[in-house]
A and B are shown apart, each in its own frame.
Chain A
Amino acid sequence: MDVLTCIKRVPDTGSKIVLTEDRQSIDASNLGFTMSPHEECAIEAAVQLVEAHGGTARVLTLGPPAADEQLRTGLAMTADEATLLETDGAEWGPRATANAIADAVRAAEEEFDLLLFGNESADAANYQVGIRVAERLGLPVVAGIKSLEVEDGTAIAGREVSGGEEIYEVDLPAVVTVKEGINEPRYASMRAKMSARRQEVDRREPDAESGPGTFEKLRLEAPSDEDSAAEVLGEGPEAVPRIIEVLEEEVEVV
């Protein structure tokens, strides 16, 4: 089976975010770039499926020329092929991104049995691209998946819900967006990382018509680094009046 996994290049997180002076992007000089943990799991799932059923695993991203770094991470995790829909670095909204990916899927030589996405990207977190691609390609989609198997042309996908699990059976081809925890993504071996560095990445321009579209970035704002503070309002029943006061006057929910 042929599996396509779509990923996004994002600045590494886990530390204080510093913006560039024009506030148009994140100063990533000390951070480096990565992809979301969901997407790492999606690649791992794709690679495992191909290991079990044969076929090819391709990773794809839409992003600037340097985004081939993330594709190579996918290749180092033993994906077979990589496609870069190369942009000039402008921000693409979820609709435009989905259109470009859908067009690329249509144009591809392979006929993908499965399209995997992370549940949401690590930076914008729009939760949309996978679903929009499915819609545009007329494919079934299940989102937020934490277990995935394929049997006889059917994907069996599980989603955690409170108190249990929902299991879906979806005919392939289909789109599945996965969540961290579905598997433990592998560390690339030295050999795989080295060959990934040398592998050809299929670079193509995304369909100009899909374009960045009407989406315009004004500026970024870093979250304030004020510590969240906890205040003890009181203990026992005596605390009730103070709680009501806070709810009414400060939080304004009552």
Chain B
Amino acid sequence: MSSREFPDSAGTVIIGAGIVGNSLAYHLARQGVEDLLMIDKGPLPDPGGSTGHASNFLMPVEHSKEMTHLTRRSIEQYDEMGTFANSGGIEVARTDERVEELKRRMQSAKAWGEPAELLTPAEVEELVPYIETDLIEAGFYSTGAGTCDPLRAGEIMRARADAIATGAVTPEEIDAGDVGPDDLEGVGDGPGGLSLAPNTEVQDLHVDEGEIRAVETDRGTVTADRVVIAAGLWSPEIAKMAGVEIPLTPAVHQMISVGPIPFFEQFEGEINHPVVRDMDTQMYERPSGNDMEVGSYQHRPILWDVEDVPSIEEAPLSPTQPPLTDDAFEQSMMDALELMPEVLDDPEAGIRHEIDGLLSEAPDGAPLLGPLQDVDGLWSCAAVWIKEGPAIGEMVAQWMTRGYPDVDLSEANVNRFYEYGTSREWVKARAHELYQEIYGIVHPSEQWQSGRPIRTSAFYDQQDDHDARWFEAAGWERPQWFESNEDLLDVYADELEGLHRPNEWDSRWWSPIILAEHLHMRDHVAMIGDMGFGIFDFVGSDVVDYVERMAVGRCDVDVGKTVYTPILAENGGFVSDLTIARLGPEHYRVVTGGAAAGSDRAWFTSHIGDDEHVTLLDRSDSLCTLGVWGPDAREVVQSVTEEDMSHEAFAPYTAQEITVGETDAWAMRLSYVGELGWEIYAPMSKGHRLWETIADAGDAHDIRPVGMGVYGTTGRMEKGYRLFGHELEIEYTPAEAGLTFHGLKEADFNGKEAYAEAIEADNAATLCTLSVADHAPDGGQARFMLGNEPVMDQDGQVLVDEEGRRSYVTSAGTGPSVGKHLLMAYLPPAHAEEGTRLQVEYMGDRYPVDVEVVGSRPLFDPENDRIRS
């Protein structure tokens, strides 16, 4: 595979021969891609990127289900290739707060199905005899953790890719264990397969009519149908050649290797003791032969500009291994010496290697995967750690070839920063903040402090005057609640009894004012805005067929109708859920949640056919949205609107153009909080005026601005409304989510076959609404779950459905109008019975919960009388 000339053309070009590029090549070959070329400016097997200096340990348990599953699948791949050592890993706690965090780790381990145990300091010492137990209070033992050899894995994957792509072996033969490393020597030296072009520098990407055409290198130009940028910290530079952006920055991770350590000399093999993560100092100690690698994320963030990263020729070690910045590492030395004096404070053990290792950091720490929507055929696969590299290669290969991955990659979609979060300054500000949070105790609702505000709507100043507590979504500043509504706590003191959260963790980034705002809305009227929606208008002569093809719901409806609909992948899993309104015969408007806007936009654009007359007009930044909801909403809106807003003139689930005071607007009568009212859309420039008009009109009804805490949690939970990324994701179908009310329409649409099957089949799990029966079953402080807790039967066994999916809390939030703390979870049929008593584990304790509703029937106002009133 290496003997071939640099080709003139290739089906798929992969730029980058690190763990990601190699894994992509292998899995693309497995998916049937035959004509592959891998280019790297460095030599093989270590081209000089981050893969070459990683510490190579894999700790699977994270609070993200997807990242945990990706690491688990990666471990299995490394293991199958003989490049994994199951050393185990222990996260140690030095503080009480960290002990609580380790309990939360246990909770996530159970929820995602990873083996783990909590250890006492003495138990930690049995596994790690050289640790100073006086310093630690507990350990979280991930028994499935271990270390890998990504360079060797890369070689194997390249050889396999070539062998499969040339037809010399089949994936099945590899899976059966029939193909050893020796069997791959020299196979596939014929045409096709995987060509390798190391020591080849990419100089330009050729784009024509919005499509990738060719890759220009110092060894020639190769035409390509598809190009994947898997170039690690150089990815932004490569993307720039095509006029698109991959937002990441090189960041320093300091690491030293200390040895020879006499204690380790008695053991054979590369690693014989668990890797230790010293969480509170943001460090790790990883045995490697007779050495101990000591790595740190504790030091001050040191971010690089990619153009300052040296070339291979200029770098003494490798481009991503500049010399250690001594002063930044000093505290880390002290902490490591203190934790493991027996091995590290041995005068015979010297620092044999010390680097400022460069790695890729995205603004939120998640990978940057998927199609780059402004250039057809150009993909990003960047900001990936060693621990998830093989599985991400697999998932992106699936995505490229069949349109969707097995594991939901929404949180890692490169398009999530589209057109707002790609500037270098902003990326660096976020990366700087994020760096300090590595190994940190990050609350599920934790808000960024840096680079804000980056996106503000027309109402920003008015809301700020009400003392808004700002949360951010896809860059948009949205009030979570308003301190100005504090007086409502007194008004609703009785209703809120028992719903306050006495525990600091449970109430962090939360306020009981949210519950009071909710009750006020249910009793009177509230205004909510801006939600930061993605708003896409589609126009053109083929738009009806196009929109029909995208959506489960029938969209060839009368002008003025709205359709709430799932958007599915071919497997019937969720890509999104959103509202489509028909504005004209050849004009639709799609409104989707802000967080998903960039990814949804990419999904929609990628499905416009080459010859199809459909144009997308992105209105997200030009329209503001103001929701007015509550029993008094009609009176308020009617008082300032020229048009007739009566039930008869403006029916539920329809849309019309209206004039509110001086503002020309467009409104949909629907509600995510289950109330009478409208979402009013106006030009950003008129937003301020619109807010004033509604606020003045609502004065007599004591209209209150209320926050996203009501919109996104309390209101929707009572109504059983699902949230994309929580309940709705690629692994569950509309049947399981209880969203088959559209039935099966005649027109074809993405995922139709799987959707039809899902309707016919018995659900393997059904989304249910549960309530917490006792917040303090053992007495003491009442606790309130926040989401992602494992759901168990009365015996403490986590529920698992017949497809192996485990039950966990997808969303948690208080329902003030029903007086309960509500949870949503997919439950297997045996437990999806209303009235069933189950348990959830939260912070190390178990709490009884009851199944309130099976399916999507609202707990509050089940007949939707309010919306229809």
Contacts and interface: CB of A to CB of B under 8 A. Distances in A.
A190 B258 contact: yes
Interface of B: 256, 258, 294, 308, 310-311, 313-316, 322-323, 326-327, 330, 333-334, 336-337, 344-352
Nearest to B334: A194
B337 A191 contact: yes
Contact of A15 (B308, B315, B330, B346): B315
Nearest to A69: B326
Interface stretch (A29-37, A133-141, A226-234, A243-251): A29-37
A16 B336 CA distance: 35
A13 B315 CA distance: 9
A189 B294 CA distance: 13
Nearest to A198: B330
16 contacts: A12-B316, A15-B310, A15-B313, A15-B314, A16-B313, A16-B314, A30-B322, A31-B316, A186-B350, A187-B350, A187-B351, A189-B346, A190-B258, A190-B351, A193-B351, A194-B334
B310 A189 contact: no
Interface string A188-214: 111111100100000000000000000
B346 A187 contact: no
A225 B322 CA distance: 22
A225 B344 CA distance: 42
A197 to B, nearest CB: 6
A13 B313 CA distance: 11
A189 B323 contact: no
Interface string A161-199: 000000000000000000000000011111111100100
Contact of A190 (B322, B327, B336): B336
Q: Which of A14, A31, A190, A197 has the largest number of chain B CB atoms within 10 A? A: A190
B322 A32 contact: yes
Nearest to B341: A191
B346 A14 contact: no
Interface class of chain A by DSSP = loop
Nearest to A30: B310
B347 A192 contact: yes
A18 interface: yes
Given A12-B316, A18-B314, 14 more contacts: A13-B316, A16-B311, A16-B314, A30-B308, A30-B310, A30-B316, A32-B322, A187-B350, A189-B346, A190-B258, A190-B351, A191-B345, A193-B351, A194-B333
Given A15-B316, A18-B314, A30-B315, A189 B330 contact: no
A31 B308 CA distance: 12
Contact of B316 (A14, A186, A225): A14
B218 to A, nearest CB: 15
A19 to B, nearest CB: 12
Given A12-B323, A14-B316, A30-B314, A190 B337 contact: yes
A18 B337 CA distance: 38
A186 B260 CA distance: 11
Nearest to B356: A32
A193 B314 contact: no
B839 to A, nearest CB: 47
A125 B348 CA distance: 33
A18 B312 CA distance: 13
A179 to B, nearest CB: 22
Most buried by A among B256, B316, B326, B330: B316
Contacts of B314: 15-16, 18, 30
Contacts of A15: 310, 313-316
B330 A194 contact: yes
Contacts of B294: 190
A191 B315 contact: no
Contacts of A194: 330, 333-334, 337
A14 B311 CA distance: 13
B347 A189 contact: yes
Given A32-B322, A197-B326, A197-B330, A190 B316 contact: no
Contacts of B351: 187-190, 193
Contacts of B344: 190
Contact of A29 (B308, B327, B348): B308
Contacts of B326: 69, 197
Nearest to A225: B313
A128 to B, nearest CB: 27
A29 B344 CA distance: 30
Contact of A189 (B308, B322, B349): B349
Nearest to A73: B326
A87 B315 CA distance: 28
A6 B308 CA distance: 34
Most buried by B among A29, A186, A191: A191
Interface in A1-55: 12-16, 18, 29-32
Contacts of A191: 337, 345, 347
Nearest to A29: B308
Contacts of B258: 189-190
Nearest to A196: B326
Q: What 5 A-B pairs have minimum CB-CB distances, sorted nearest first?
A: A187-B350, A32-B323, A30-B310, A16-B313, A15-B316
A135 to B, nearest CB: 36
Contacts of A69: 326
Nearest to B326: A197
Contacts of A30: 308, 310, 314-316, 322
Contacts of B323: 12, 31-32
A69 B315 CA distance: 20
